[in-house]
């Protein structure tokens, strides 16, 4: 029997290929990505990560067994503690204080993506929430892996690539994918369809998040 994860990946693969080809990511590996663009990406992350952590916590609330509750609660805590603190360091590297980052209103795509995740994880069933959250993990893990060999001549960009391409993150994601396959066994066709639709929306937002950083997107009015 084919694992359900293969079906989920098929729903995202076309979008993933466009992510890899995006000038943001090709610029990371050849080091040509302008610093102001990466700075904008970090600012978007500063706004997005707290919502992402809350969405993970909502998954913990709906998780069907104690081990899964622990997995999502731990990832929510890690998102707040590790990722946010790393990004605070990056913000400092760019001379953006935490207060300034908070003062800057969340740019449209970062706000839209975080709001969508919260909506999907709060209003959906556990399976629907999982559909929305899995691509966040999986696309970052695949992007990190794909960029790892080429890495980057820029130490800051190389650090970013190693964070997501590294073994620890890969193991975290492998655990979530095992859970996805397990959960999918008990779903109806309709539930699988809703899970996959959410995954596609998240994959689109992932592309949009990089593209928004590339354009240094802000509110037009
Ligand atoms: C936009 C975005 N998606 C996923 C992750 C994975 O942690 C992240 N840090 N940021």
CATH topology of domain 4-214: Heme Oxygenase; Chain A (1.20.910)
Exactly one of 45, 59, 128, 136 is catalytic; which is it? 136
pLDDT above 60 (res 67): yes
Instruction: Give residue 131's Cα distance to chain centre.
Output: 13
pLDDT above 90 (res 208): yes
Q: Which of 116, 168, 206 to mutate to test the pocket of ligand 1 (most atoms within 8 A of CB)?
A: 206
Higher pLDDT, 202 or 46: 202
Percent of the chain with pLDDT over 90: 77
Show Cβ contacts of residue 28 under 8 Å, excluding neighbours closer than 6 positions: 147, 152, 154, 157, 160, 161
Tell me, using a 6 A CB cutoff, whether residue 138 lines ligand 1.
no
Please say if 59 is a catalytic residue: no
Quote the CA–CA distance of 144 and 161 in Å, as a whole number: 5
Quote the CA–CA distance of 110 and 217 in Å, as a whole number: 10
Supply the pTM of this predicted model: 0.95
Closest ligand 1 atom to the C-alpha of 45? 10
Tell me, using a 6 A CB cutoff, whether residue 169 lines ligand 1.
no
Least confident range of 37-41, 101-105, 160-164:
101-105
Closest CA to 16 of 130, 147, 148, 172: 147
The count of other CB atoms within 10 Å of the CB of residue 35 is: 12
**Looking at residue 102, what is its pLDDT?**
74
Domain ranges, ordered by start, for the chain? 4-214
pLDDT band at 86 (very low <50, low <70, confident <90, very high): low
**Looking at residue 84, what is its pLDDT?**
67
Closest CA to 187 of 129, 148, 118, 138: 129
Q: Which residue has the tokens 């354009």?
A: 215
- The SS3 of residue 65 is coil
- Given a contact cutoff of 8 angstroms between Cβ atoms, the answer to whether 20 and 141 are in contact is no
How close is the Cα of 46 to the center of ligand 1, in Å? 11
Please say if 98 is a catalytic residue: no
pLDDT in tens, 153-193: 988 888 888 989 999 999 999 999 999 999 999 999 999 99
pLDDT above 90 (res 100): no
How close is the Cα of 140 to the center of ligand 1, in Å? 6
């Amino acid at each position: 029997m084919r694992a359900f994860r293969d079906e989920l990946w098929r729903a995202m693969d076309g979008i993933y290929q466009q992510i890899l080809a995006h000038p943001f990511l090709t610029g990371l590996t050849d080091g040509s990505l302008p610093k102001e663009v990466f700075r904008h990406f970090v600012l978007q992350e500063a706004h997005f990560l707290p919502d992402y952590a809350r969405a993970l916590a909502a998954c913990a609330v709906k998780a069907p067994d104690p081990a899964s509750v622990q997995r999502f609660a731990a990832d929510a805590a890690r998102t707040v503690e590790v990722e946010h603190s790393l990004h605070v360091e990056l913000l400092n590297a760019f001379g953006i204080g935490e207060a300034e980052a908070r003062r800057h209103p969340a740019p449209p795509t970062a706000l839209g993506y975080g709001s969508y995740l919260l909506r999907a994880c709060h209003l959906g069933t556990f399976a629907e929430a999982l559909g929305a959250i899995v691509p966040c993990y999986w696309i970052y893990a695949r992007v990190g892996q794909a960029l790892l060999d080429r890495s980057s001549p820029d130490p800051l960009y190389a650090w970013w690539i190693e964070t997501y391409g590294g073994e620890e993150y890969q193991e975290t994601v492998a655990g979530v994918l095992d859970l996805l396959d397990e959960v999918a066994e008990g779903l109806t066709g309709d539930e699988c369809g809703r899970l996959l639709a959410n995954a596609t929306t998240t994959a689109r937002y992932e592309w949009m998040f990089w593209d928004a950083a590339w354009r240094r997107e802000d509110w037009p009015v």
